[in-house]
């Protein structure tokens, strides 16, 4: 441990905590973020600042990326100063952004041409999972490359599972987001209903959380709503991006996902009201206003 040099591109809400765990585990880290100040804490812990994704790729053996949108992923890998502008032979790239499976497969193919490996390894667990290193990580790509980086992935997550060929990690994340969308709607409606019925929200949550309704969203996000805390553990803008990808992928497979489409439209309405930077728990505002207590 500590011999492999780790690259980290994207030090936002999730990436900063995840990279911090890697540094704590004894790995030398090279970091880049579009907003340099967001990497200051990592640099203070010993990470080496790089001026571009290409510089990170040139110095590290294993490079992790976790950025915002598919266009950001494309820029990080294929841009003039992106990872693939460097000599990447023998290196492994792990994109942990939730992005389009087709883009993931494009990255995989280009990496292979350049003599490198690429994995898609999106995560679930939000800001808390990133801070506490309890993320669920779902990986796609070459099995041998996955085994090579597994010890590092285990530093960040408690559930790290190989899903299959390139793109399989992203498809698994889409399934994850479909479940979360429906669950978030159910939890939000339950809280609005309980508030309107005059129930004590905390007591209600404790009660139904001990039965069949118990789930991660109920345990982690419902208490934030009760406290009026709508800060993002996972931002609405990013969730809408994920849902739109899932809807598009489903259409490509000849499927229609009506529940997901409905929830997506509710979140898009929140975006239209300028609330896209809030956390996904703010769906309650769309269903019943903010008066849930």
Which one, of 180, 246, 192, 243, lies nearest residue 217 by Cα? Answer: 180
Q: What are phi and psi of 10, to 5 degrees?
A: 110, 100
Q: Where are the alpha helices (DSSP H) in 82-200?
A: 101-113, 126-132, 143-156, 168-196
Using one digit for the tens of pLDDT, what is the confidence trace for 133-173?
Answer: 999 999 999 999 999 999 999 999 999 999 999 999 999 99
Sort residue 10 into left (φ over 0), alpha (ψ -120 to 50) or beta: left
Sketch out the chain's domains with CATH numbers: 5-166 (3.40.50.720), 171-288 (1.10.1040.10)
| Positions marked catalytic | 173
Instruction: Categorize the per-residue pLDDT at 288 as very low, low, confident or very high, splitting at 50, 70 and 90.
Output: confident
Using one digit for the tens of pLDDT, what is the confidence trace for 69-119?
Answer: 999 999 999 999 999 999 999 999 999 999 999 999 999 999 999 999 999
Cβ count near 283 (within 10 Å): 29
CA 160, CA 225: separation in Å to the nearest integer? 29
Buried b (16+ CB within 10 A) or exposed e, 43-79: eeeebbebebbbbbbbbbbbbbbbbbbbebbbbbbee
Cβ count near 208 (within 10 Å): 17
């Amino acid at each position: 441990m500590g011999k492999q040099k780790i690259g980290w591109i994207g030090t936002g809400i999730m990436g900063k905590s995840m990279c911090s765990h890697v540094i704590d585990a004894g790995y030398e880290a090279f970091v880049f973020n579009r907003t340099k100040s967001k990497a200051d804490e990592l640099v203070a812990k010993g990470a080496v600042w790089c001026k571009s994704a290409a510089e990170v790729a040139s110095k590290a053996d294993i490079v992790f990326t976790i950025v915002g949108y598919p266009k950001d992923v494309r820029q990080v890998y294929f841009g003039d100063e992106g990872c693939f502008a460097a000599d990447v032979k023998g290196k492994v790239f792990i994109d942990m952004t939730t992005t389009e499976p087709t883009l993931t497969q494009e990255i995989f193919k280009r990496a292979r041409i350049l003599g490198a490996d690429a994995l898609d390894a999106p995560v679930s667990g939000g800001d808390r999972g990133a801070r506490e290193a309890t993320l669920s990580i779902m990986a796609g790509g070459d099995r041998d490359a996955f085994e090579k980086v597994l010890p590092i992935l285990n530093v960040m997550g408690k559930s790290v599972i190989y899903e299959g060929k390139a793109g399989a990690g992203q498809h698994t994340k889409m399934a994850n987001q479909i479940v979360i969308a429906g669950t978030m709607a159910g939890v939000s409606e339950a809280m609005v209903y309980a508030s309107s019925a005059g129930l004590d929200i905390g007591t209600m949550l404790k009660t139904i959380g001990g039965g069949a309704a118990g789930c991660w969203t109920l345990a982690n996000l419902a208490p934030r709503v009760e406290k009026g805390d709508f800060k993002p553990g996972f931002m609405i803008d990013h969730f809408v991006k994920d849902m739109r990808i899932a809807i598009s992928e489903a259409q490509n497979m000849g499927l229609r996902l009506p529940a997901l489409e409905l929830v997506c439209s509710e979140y898009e309405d929140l975006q239209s009201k300028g609330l896209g930077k809030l956390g996904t728990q703010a769906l309650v505002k769309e269903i019943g206003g903010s008066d849930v207590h």
